[in-house]
Structure 1
Amino acid sequence: MLSTHDANAPGALLGKPADGWIEAKNHLQGFGGFHGGLALALLASATQSHVPGLELQSITGRFDRPIESGFTVASSLIRSGRTTAAVSATARSAKGPHIEASAVYGVPGEAAWQPFAPSAPVAPPPQDCEVFAIPPEFVPISTSMEIRPVGPARPYAGGPEPELIAWVRLLEDDDPPDVLRSVFLMDALAPSYAAVLSQLVLVPTVELTVRPAAGLATASSPWILLRARTLAASAGGWIDEQLDAWGPDGTHLATAHQLRVVRAG
Structure 2
Amino acid sequence: MSGWVTADSRLNGFGGFHGGLALALLASAAREQVPGLQLQSITGRFDRAIGTGFDVKASLIRSGRSTAVVSARAESDKGVHIEASAVYGVPTEPVWDAVAPTAPQAPPPEDCDVLTIPPEFVPVAASMEIRPVGAARPYGGGTEPELIAWVRLLEDDDPPDVLRLIFLMDALAPSYTATLSTLALAPTIELTVRPADGLLGAASPWILVRARTSASSVGGWIDEHMEVWGRDGALLGTGHQLRILRT
Rounded to whole Å, the distance in 2 between the matches of 1:36 and 1:188 is 9
Rounded to whole Å, the distance in 2 between the matches of 1:66 and 1:229 is 25
Question: Of the candidates 53, 76, 85, which is equivalent to residue 102 of structure 1?
Answer: 85
Rounded to whole Å, the distance in 2 between the matches of 1:130 and 1:93 is 40
- Aligned partner of 1:68 in structure 2 is 51
Rounded to whole Å, the distance in 2 between the matches of 1:29 and 1:237 is 23
Equivalent residue runs for 1:157-196 within 5 Å: 157-196=140-179
Question: Of the candidates 117, 120, 134, which is equivalent to residue 151 of structure 1?
Answer: 134
Q: Secondary structure at the match of 1:207?
A: strand
Rounded to whole Å, the distance in 2 between the matches of 1:170 and 1:46 is 22
Q: How high is the TM-score relative to the length of structure 1?
A: 0.92
Shift of 1:81: 0.3
Equivalent residue runs for 1:6-155 within 5 Å: 18-155=1-138
Shift of 1:68: 2.2
What is the letter of the counterpart of residue 59 of structure 1?
I
Query: Which piece of structure 1 moves more, 162-171 or 63-72?
Result: 63-72
What is the letter of the counterpart of residue 88 of structure 2?
Y
Rounded to whole Å, the distance in 2 between the matches of 1:83 and 1:259 is 29
Q: Secondary structure at the match of 1:143?
A: helix
Rounded to whole Å, the distance in 1 between the matches of 2:245 and 2:219 is 8
What is the letter of the counterpart of residue 48 of structure 2?
R
Question: Of the candidates 224, 230, 242, which is equivalent to residue 241 of structure 1?
Answer: 224
What is the letter of the counterpart of residue 135 of structure 2?
P
Rounded to whole Å, the distance in 2 between the matches of 1:118 and 1:129 is 23
Rounded to whole Å, the distance in 2 between the matches of 1:243 and 1:68 is 27
Rounded to whole Å, the distance in 2 between the matches of 1:119 and 1:255 is 12
Q: Secondary structure at the match of 2:27?
A: helix
- Aligned partner of 1:197 in structure 2 is 180
Rounded to whole Å, the distance in 2 between the matches of 1:143 and 1:63 is 23
Q: Deviations over 1:205-264 (max 9, x none)?
A: 000000000100000000000000000011111100000000011000000000001012
Pairwise CA RMSD: 0.5
Q: Secondary structure at the match of 1:243?
A: strand
Q: Deviations over 1:11-58 (max 9, x none)?
A: xxxxxxx21100010111111111000000000000011111110000
Rounded to whole Å, the distance in 1 between the matches of 2:63 and 2:81 is 26
Q: Secondary structure at the match of 1:115?
A: coil
- Percent identity reads 71
Q: Which runs of 5+ in 2 are unaligned?
A: none
Aligned: 1:232 with 2:208: no
Aligned: 1:208 with 2:191: yes
Aligned: 1:257 with 2:246: no
Q: Secondary structure at the match of 2:131?
A: strand
Shift of 1:110: 1.5
What is the letter of the counterpart of residue 81 of structure 2?
H
Q: Secondary structure at the match of 1:221?
A: coil
Q: Secondary structure at the match of 1:235?
A: coil
Shift of 1:69: 1.3
Q: Secondary structure at the match of 1:217?
A: helix
Q: How high is the TM-score relative to the length of structure 2?
A: 0.99
Rounded to whole Å, the distance in 1 between the matches of 2:54 and 2:204 is 32
